[in-house]
A and B are shown apart, each in its own frame.
Chain A
Amino acid sequence: MNALEPLLLSFEVAVLATALATVLGVVLGGLLARPQLWAREVIDALVTAPMVLPPTVLGYYLLVLLGRESAIGHTFEALTGSAIVFTRGGAVVAATLGALPLISKAARAALESVDVRLVGAARTLGASSFRAFMSVSLPLARRGITSGVLLGFARALGDFGVTLMVAGNIPGQTRTASLAIYDAVLAGRDDDAARLALIMTTLAVAVLIGASYLTRQRRDGF
């Protein structure tokens, strides 16, 4: 078996998913940081739910929502000629869902910790709320958000259950490293499994160290 292929696929899927989850997560975090947002704790709970729900439940929802017969899946296929489920796109969606709560939570916390007076000062100096967000809130929340993005990336790299449900286990298409480990174990290829497991662990730990380094520097700043 080519050990590199699932790793590269995992990496590609995780990069795309993290990019998607970062955009969504920062927008969501920005909305959730606004005290006047209606039902924000409900929205936060819904975004966080993927962290605690069984992968099968999430996978089921995604199949219903994005399957070839669904409105979204059908439209997507009509536009791009390719379905979402059981393709690389499905793997990206699954990984995005795993990364999103980590990123949106980190973004919300980081944005909430920005001094409201700084945003107020920007507004009285003529900045629209959008400009104040982009030029004051976001740069000041950068460290916290980056740390969340790293965690999200680590999470996206290793998704298993939801990926299996909505993307299947297609070699070269959706068989990411975590699925390849599952295959290797089932097939008794212990060396392959051990090698992949070690690489995944090293990557995850490296990313976690990076994330905690970022949060620690932030604390030293005061």
Chain B
Amino acid sequence: MAFEARLSARLELQRQLTAPRFSLAVELDFGPGLNVLFGPSGSGKSTILALIAGLLRPDRGRIALASEVLFDSEQRLDRAPNERGIALVFQSLALFPHLTGVANVAYGVPRALGNAQRVERAMAWLQRLRVGHLAQRHPGSYSGGEAQRVALARALASEPRALLLDEPFSALDRELAGELSAELSSYVAPLAIPVVLVTHDRKLARELGREVTLLRAGRVEEVGSVSDLLAERA
């Protein structure tokens, strides 16, 4: 099917209580495949992901994924995060510390499948991300790279219709980050879902993106190809 699953969002948010006052007003449109949202810290990148995932509510706006509206302030429509089918990998990874690796990954596998099948599915994802040996261990004992892989496996195993990644490699050293980012492209390419990767790392953005959305102080500054936007500033 040639239908393109696009993720589009118009988001407005005012935070009166924060100091300095924070205001966000963006219009975003992400196609299938890897999209890079680039900006300095404090520019609102993580907030945007939380808004799209439904963990925060915009003051005004509209969020749509493919043909489905997930949020529309005018229609008073607000789908719960668990009904959006959007997986979010937090910068902190947010692995459940009380669950084993396989239980972490199985958590998001659709519950329509039986327990045995969910565990099987989770194991397969762990192995695919080359962390099958962590299945019975708890996240407290993982290295940075291992935790990153389990978190990615968990997000992918939930069969999301869109995937949001918040600074996914910030805790890793350069070499490991490069290795994982190359792998990431290979995992998400066949899924044909919008993947939004947030980063303030110019080098990573250049490695990953064909198209980059440049964010500054809660506003979209520019949208364009990586080479145009980021090359001259390097």
Q: Which residues of A does B touch, CB under 8 Å?
A: 115, 117-118, 120-129, 135-136, 139-140
Contact = CB atoms under 8 A, between A and B. Distances in A.
B87 A124 contact: yes
Interface string B43-59: 00000001001110000
Would you call the interface of chain B mostly helix, strand, loop, or mixed?
loop
Which 6 residue pairs are nearest across A and B when measured between Cβ atoms?
A125-B108, A121-B94, A123-B81, A117-B94, A124-B88, A120-B55
A124 B111 contact: no
A47 to B, nearest CB: 27
Contact of A120 (B90, B108, B154): B90
B98 A126 contact: no
B224 interface: no
A140 B110 CA distance: 23
A148 to B, nearest CB: 19
Interface SS of A by simple majority:
helix
A85 to B, nearest CB: 43
Nearest to B151: A121
A139 B94 CA distance: 15
Interface in B105-161: 107-108, 110-111, 154-155, 158
B225 interface: no
Contact of A121 (B54, B84, B90): B90
Nearest to A131: B82
Interface of B: 50, 53-55, 80-82, 84-88, 90, 92, 94, 96-98, 107-108, 110-111, 154-155, 158
A128 B80 CA distance: 8
B169 to A, nearest CB: 18
Contacts of A121: 88, 90, 94, 96
A123 B82 contact: yes
B94 to A, nearest CB: 4
B90 A127 contact: no
B218 to A, nearest CB: 21
A152 B84 CA distance: 41
Contact of A126 (B55, B97, B111): B111
Contact of B110 (A115, A120, A126, A128): A126
B94 A127 contact: no
A122 B90 contact: no
A95 to B, nearest CB: 32
A120 B98 CA distance: 16
A118 B94 contact: yes
B97 to A, nearest CB: 7
27 contacts: A115-B92, A118-B94, A120-B53, A120-B81, A121-B90, A123-B54, A123-B81, A124-B53, A124-B54, A124-B81, A124-B84, A124-B158, A125-B82, A125-B107, A125-B108, A125-B154, A125-B158, A126-B82, A126-B108, A126-B110, A127-B82, A127-B107, A129-B80, A129-B82, A136-B96, A139-B98, A140-B98
Contacts of A125: 82, 87, 107-108, 154-155, 158
Q: Which of B53, B80, B94, B108 has most chain A Cβ within 10 Å?
A: B94
Contacts of B158: 124-126
